Amino acid sequence: MTRAPEDQTPVNRAEPQKHPAPRSLSGEEPIIWEALFRKFSHQGRSLQVQIRQMIVAAIEERRIPRNARMPSSRDLATLLGVARNTVVLAYQQLVDEGFLESRERSGYFIKGAASGRPKESVEIRADHPDDPNWAERFAMRPSTRRNIVKPREWLRYPYPFLYGQFDPGLFPTNDWRECARGALSVLEIHNWARDLVDGDDPELIDQL
C-alpha cells in the first residue's frame, strides 16, 4: 500500500501580537528592570510590599513611562527569585490602587500615579478678609524644626538614648498581632462597624 506524499506547502499561522520592550522616557534605551529592583531583599519587609513600593516609586519618579508594559509575572518572579504568585498578587494590588491596568491577553501596563494623591503642599491662607489667618496662629511649625541627628547605625548601639526611638525587640509583636486579628474578625467588624449614632462603646467606657 502506497502512502500519499505529505503536503509540504507551508502554512501561514497567525503569530501572537508582540509588544515592544518598554523604553525609557528618552526613548533611547529599554528599561533595565534589574536596576529598578536592585534594592530588593528577601529579608525584612514582605516581598509583595517591596515589589509594590519599588514599582510605585519608579512610576512617581518617572523612571517608567505611561503605557509601558510590565514584565510578565513569570519573568519578574524569575528575576527576583520569588514565587510567581507573589508577583501576581502584587500586580493585582497595584491594579486596585490605580497604578497598573490589566489588558486581556496582553499583560499589565503602567497606568500612572493613583488619583487623589496630593502633588504638592497647599499654602494656608485666608480666603476672606474676615476669616482668621491660621498661619499666624500656629505656635510652632513642625516642618521647620530641625530633625534629630543620629548615626545611620544607631540601632547597633547598646544604649542609643535617642528621643522618640524605641527598641524593636521590645515591641509586643505577638500581643499586637492578636489584638489586630481579634478586631478584624467578621464578628467584631459587625460590632464596631455599626452606626451607634450618639451611643458609646460600653467596654471602652468601662476601661476609661
Determine the pLDDT at residue 93.
92
Residue with cell 534629630: 148
Cell triple for 90? 502584587
Domain ranges for the chain, please list them. Answer: 33-110
Per the rule left: phi > 0, alpha: psi between -120 and 50, beta: everything else, 84 is: alpha
Determine the pLDDT at residue 74.
92
What is the DSSP track for 122-136?
-----SSTTS--HHH
Enumerate the β-bridge partners of residue 101.
109
Cα distance between the two ends of the chain? 98
- What is the C-alpha to C-alpha distance for residues 141 and 143, in angstroms, rounded to an integer? 5
Cell triple for 63? 523612571
Determine the pLDDT at residue 1.
52
**CATH number assigned to the domain covering 33-110:** 1.10.10.10
Determine the pLDDT at residue 84.
94
What residues in the chain have per-residue pLDDT under 70? 1-31, 112-129
- Amino acid type, 5: P
Residue 112, C-beta contacts closer than 8 angstroms, at least 6 positions apart: 59, 66, 98, 99
Determine the pLDDT at residue 112.
57
Residues 135-168: pLDDT tens digits?
A: 778 887 777 777 778 888 888 888 888 877 888 8
Residue 137, C-beta contacts closer than 8 angstroms, at least 6 positions apart: none
Determine the pLDDT at residue 22.
43
Determine the pLDDT at residue 16.
45
SS3 153: coil
